[in-house]
Amino acid sequence: MRPGIAIFAVLAAVAGAALGLAATDGGEDAAASAVAPGEPTVEVISPRNGARQESRAVVVKVKVHGFHLAPHHFGGEPQLGEGHLRFSLNRVPDCVDPVKLERAEESPVGRGRLVGASFDFPRYSGPNGELAERLGASGSYSPATRPEIYYHELPAGFYRLVITLAQNNGSPTPYHEVTNFQILPPPGQGGHPCKGSKVSSAKAAVFD
């Protein structure tokens, strides 16, 4: 067996053991009908956009339409209409320089917002983060072959989660969905006011 094939086989085995072998298929609903026929979509079940919670743990669940999650082909050659998911969770900075925020919003090559610190590490995203570490993707995204991921020990703040469909070899596709949520501070432990001209993460976060 060639080294490259052997590596892919190991990664596929790890993905199956750590993430399970469940898969989801396309279905039709109101959201899917709003896009072109046959175009893959991701529907966020939880957390809903704008959700607020006190728990520091977040169970993310999505539905994938028009795209087959293929754990047995994880790390293999790209195949039309199949692959896995890439979850990317970032926390909006507590206090943001309005100049930097404006630059991010107006940047023609940026995302229109400040990204913030990543939480795609084993400490926060568990087995998915461990797999990301093996793939050299820690701090960028957590791969998943199931339509869910569990984040824990998240500090209070505003978060932006991007879920992207990826090919078997990990290459991202243009199809993705975004959800924003907030982890509330414990009672009586509200955040400190921003100093100077900086704005709070509540103003920097974009719930769209």
pLDDT at 192: 66
Given a cut of 60, whether residue 113 has pLDDT beyond it is no
Distances (CA, A) of 182 to 57, 59, 117, 123, 186: 11, 13, 15, 19, 12
User: Into how many domains does the chain fold?
Assistant: 1
pLDDT digits (tens, 9 = 90+) for 80-92: 999 999 999 999 8
Calculate mean pLDDT across residues 10-36. Answer: 40
Q: What is the pLDDT of residues 155-196, one digit of tens each?
A: 999 899 999 999 999 999 999 999 999 999 888 776 667 777
> Domain of 152: which CATH number?
2.60.40.10
Encode pLDDT of 141-165 as tens digits: 999 999 999 999 999 998 999 999 9
- Which residue range is the domain that position 122 belongs to? 3-204
Query: What's the pTM value of the predicted model, to 2 decimals?
Result: 0.73
Q: Are strands 68-69 and 51-53 parallel, antiparallel or unpaired?
A: unpaired
**Contact 89/159 with Cβ under 8 angstroms?**
yes
